[in-house]
Amino acid sequence: MAEIRLGTSGWDYPEWVGKVYPPGGASDRLRYYAGLFSVVEVNSTFYRLPAPSVAASWVRRTPSRFRFAAKFPQTITHKLRLVATEEELARFLAVLRPLREAGRFVAALLQLPPSLPFEPGTVRAFYASLPSDLPVAVEFREGSWLCPESYALLREFGLAHAIVDGPHLPIALETTAPFAYIRWHGHGNPLWYDYTYSAKEIADWVPRIRALEAKVGAIYGFFNNHFRGDAAANCRTLAEELGLSVPAGPRRLL
């Protein structure tokens, strides 16, 4: 059976106070979050890279069983568009180093811009620039990436196709690496993430995840619909539907 870890994209949301965190707030939201879930996707690295010492503090503030994923910075994906990224990539890898050295890192998410079409030469060169031992999941947001040559490049370099539930592209349960990476964005209009998944929508994911279990050794999934604390609530519901054990400790969603 594959290891399954479910969490949310980010943890530091003010609107989670009183819904995920205690009404008076939590002195350390990450520490409190780690009592609820077993993994988190760090989305702040997309907007601005912290000092490596900050990543080291994440390790100290969470239990040894807890794991991290982190998004590539938008300078690599949206500004440089995968070209001449050596300096920015080195900065990102320096931030990841404390997580990786502690054995607490599961994957880096390469979230591509919807304005970037698939160009085989550019993509191959960028994939080749990544450390061969860095687990990476690639999220497509433009239709031309959903082609055999694109998937073949993922398999060649051992990168995972990020399986996405959102309004922009169809759900594609394609596996290209030893692990699967899933993101639930929601279907809100106009904001994707302003969305509450129904019980049926959550239940529909159970057989999909069971099918993925037969193909990979690990599954990492993240809910990105953070409004009102929906990501945390929907994540916990799916974990219960899958019969996953919750982290040890007394904490529960409010």
Residue-wise pLDDT tens digits, 125-178: 999 999 999 999 999 999 999 999 999 999 999 999 999 999 989 999 999 999
| pLDDT given at position 245 | 81
pTM, 2 dp: 0.96
Going by C-beta distance under 8 Å and a sequence separation of 6 or more, which residues neighbour residue 237?
197, 199, 202
| Cα-trace Rg, the chain | 17
| pLDDT given at position 249 | 53
pLDDT tens readout for residues 165-213: 999 899 999 999 999 999 999 999 999 999 999 999 999 999 999 999 9
212 burial class (0-12, 13-18, 19+ CB within 10 angstroms)? buried
| pLDDT given at position 106 | 98
Spatial CA neighbour of 113 closest among 145, 161, 148, 70: 145
CATH superfamily of 3-241: Protein of unknown function UPF0759 (3.20.20.410)
User: Could you give phi then psi for residue 42, rounded to 5 degrees?
Assistant: -75, 110
pLDDT tens readout for residues 45-87: 999 999 999 999 999 999 999 999 999 999 999 999 999 999 9
Going by C-beta distance under 8 Å and a sequence separation of 6 or more, which residues neighbour residue 174?
151, 161, 163
Tell me how crowded residue 149 is: count the other CB atoms within 10 A of its CB: 11
Going by C-beta distance under 8 Å and a sequence separation of 6 or more, which residues neighbour residue 116?
77, 81, 82, 141, 142
CA 222 → CA 50, 53, 77, 129, distances in Å? 21, 25, 20, 26
